[in-house]
Amino acid sequence: MMQYGSGYGNGYGGMTGGGWFIGLLWLLVLLAVFAAVVLVVVWMVRSSSAQGHGSATPAPPSAATPPGGAGHDDAVAIAKRRLASGEITTEEYAEIMRHLGG
């Protein structure tokens, strides 16, 4: 006849001694490690994309392309295309042209 605590295991449902409690603890540890890895990957992606694209704020008007500059004609063409497609209003177009000096 087997008594409590005899045979395989120690009476707690397995050879680990903690049964479901140890299993739950391991699950929580694995979830914490997984969350940490995900956070590190997200942080790395965000920091690398922020460095690659520069500042997220628009350039001040003083830094706009001067009339007759290398990119002035391109900027005017882009503004005209955005106005024609309805992306910007005529007021926004006028402001852009004022900043471009054209």
pLDDT of residue 73: 81
Q: Is the pLDDT of residue 14 over 90?
A: no
pLDDT of residue 18: 66
Q: What is the pLDDT of residues 18-37, one digit of tens each?
A: 678 888 999 999 999 999 99
pLDDT of residue 70: 63
Q: DSSP letters of the chain?
A: -PPTT-SSS-SSSSSSSSTHHHHHHHHHHHHHHHHHHHHHHHHHHHHHHHHHH--SSPPPGGGSPPTTSTTHHHHHHHHHHHHHHTSS-HHHHHHHHHHHT-
Q: What is the pLDDT of residues 39-74, one digit of tens each?
A: 999 999 988 876 655 445 555 554 555 556 667 788
pLDDT of residue 74: 85
